[in-house]
Structure 1
Amino acid sequence: MPTYAYRCRECTDTFELRRPMSEAGAPASCPDGHTDTVKLLTTFALTGSGAPSPAPAPTGGGGCCGGGCCA
């Protein structure tokens, strides 16, 4: 179940609620009972080794024949 962040406009506290996506737009009361709240935009980032690494740079001779000597 997703977690949504809210801010109370009366006491300026922020809080989170876990609720189904179908209730994402429903009003939320702060823990102190105030009803004037606003849902905050939250973002997340994926970090770690889950991203593919770039391909290694080619190594080898080079030259006119792809690494060999063309005498």
Structure 2
Amino acid sequence: MPRYEFRCRACGDNFEVNRPMAAAGAPATCPQGHADTVKLLSAVSVTGRGAAPAAGGGGCCGGACGC
């Protein structure tokens, strides 16, 4: 189940809530009982053993134009 991070505007605490994706936008009450909260954006990092990165020279067009 996804975990969403919220910040309480009343007390300033950050807290997390586990809930289904269908309820991602639902309001959350902070552990102190305050209802004035905002959902925070979280950075997600996914790692794995995927394909190797493509070889290239970099630059503006991948190095093919010699720039």
Alignment RMSD: 1.9
Q: Which residue of 1 aligns with 2:51?
A: 52
Moved over 3 A (4+): none
Please give the secondary structure, in 2, of the residue aligned with 1:35. Answer: coil
Q: Which residue of 1 aligns with 2:7?
A: 7
Q: Which amino acid aligns with 1:15?
A: F
Percent identity for Structure 1 against Structure 2: 58
Please give the secondary structure, in 2, of the residue aligned with 1:5. Answer: strand
Q: Which consecutive residues of structure 2, in runs of 5 or more, have no partner in the other structure?
A: 56-67
Q: Which consecutive residues of structure 1, in runs of 5 or more, have no partner in the other structure?
A: 57-71
Q: Which residue of 2 aligns with 1:17?
A: 17
- Greater Cα radius of gyration, structure 1 or 2: 1
